[in-house]
Structure 1
Amino acid sequence: MSSVRNTMTTQVATISPNQTIQEAASLMKQHNVGAIPVVEQGVLKGMLTDRDIALRTTAQGRDGQTPVSEVMSTDLVSGNPNMSLEDASQLMAQHQIRRLPIVDQNNLVGIVALGDLAVNQMSNASAGEALTNISHQNIH
């Protein structure tokens, strides 16, 4: 069974909590990603998604100078490099997330996305299940 370590992306764009939403959006555009881990001195503090920006910034009339720390999600779910892809898929499905930050000794070491799991033949069913669960979540 393949581990997360062999599948995760290790060159991850990150942002610090005191940077602005405008800087985060620019970084997302530059790296063509929909989420950026928020890191302080190597330690994962939160995740910022394009959805966070839309709902917690734009929809509330905040401007681009709002600090990332005021918008980021802090209720984090993370994995570790030694977990199996099957376990990562199940964790993502259970928590209805598309991206799983990978942490080793409190430091961010990578990220696994649903697309990464779908590429791996052994976890296609789990990736499909995770995507189905996320796609059918209730919208509030």
Structure 2
Amino acid sequence: MKVRDVMTSSVDWVGPKASVVEVAQLMKKEDVGSIPICDDNKVVGIITDRDIVLNVIAQGQDCKNTLAQDIMSRKVVSVSSDQDVHEAADLMSRYQVRRLPVVDQGRLAGILAIGDMAVERIHVNEAGDALSDISQGAHQNWN
């Protein structure tokens, strides 16, 4: 099964100059935990709700004047829509991420969340294994 078969293709994104408040409002509106940061639909970063908490709120930064480019993760792990979902699960596990932007020909085509794979019965175990690996990595970071 390919990534295109389970990914979410309708994905909102913001530009690097968007304020963290705009990012958080979009997360709330779309009920998501991450937002791709794009420059003309080309992924240049990603922001998670965790990034906002740790890099803005916990540091006492001004949410209105902090820009997406100031806190985004620039090393974005992505997949293409024609990659196998097994490869995507391996990437999630290896890089300890729960969401992967789907990039085709240099442009954002969608997003693949670990939950997208879990809804496909054939990949439930693989998604569960990836989530377990991600959670163990997060737990190790706490110690």
Q: Which runs of 5+ in 2 are unaligned?
A: none
Q: CA–CA distance in 2 between the matches of 1:126 and 1:97?
A: 14
CA distance in 2, matches of 1:126, 1:87: 10
Residue 89 of structure 2 corresponds to 89
Query: Residue type matched to 1:40 in 2?
Result: D
Are 2:62 and 1:63 equivalent residues in the alignment?
A: yes
- In the TM superposition, what is the alpha-carbon distance from 1:6 to its structure 2 partner? 1.2
- What is aligned with 2:44? 45
Unaligned runs of 5+ in 1: none
CA RMSD of aligned residues (A): 0.9
Q: Distance in 1 between matches of 2:131 and 2:4?
A: 21
- Deviation (angstroms), 1:91: 0.9
Residues 82-133 of structure 1: per-residue CA shift (max 9 Å, x gap): 0111111111111110001100111010000010000112211210111001
Equivalences for residues 1-140 of structure 1 within 5 A: 2-65=1-64, 66-137=66-137, 138-140=140-142
How many residues align structurally? 139
Q: Which amino acid aligns with 1:114?
A: I
TM-score by length of 2: 0.94
Task: Indicate if the aligned counterparts of 1:17 and 1:69 stay in contact, CA closer than 8 A.
Answer: yes
8 Å CA contact retained: 1:89, 1:123 = no
Amino acid at match of 2:87: D
Aligned-residue offset at 1:40: 0.9
List per-residue Cα deviations over 1:58-94 (Å, max 9, x = no partner). Answer: 1111111201000111111000010111111111111
The ranges of structure 1 where at least 4 consecutive aligned residues each deviate by more than 2 angstroms after the TM superposition are none
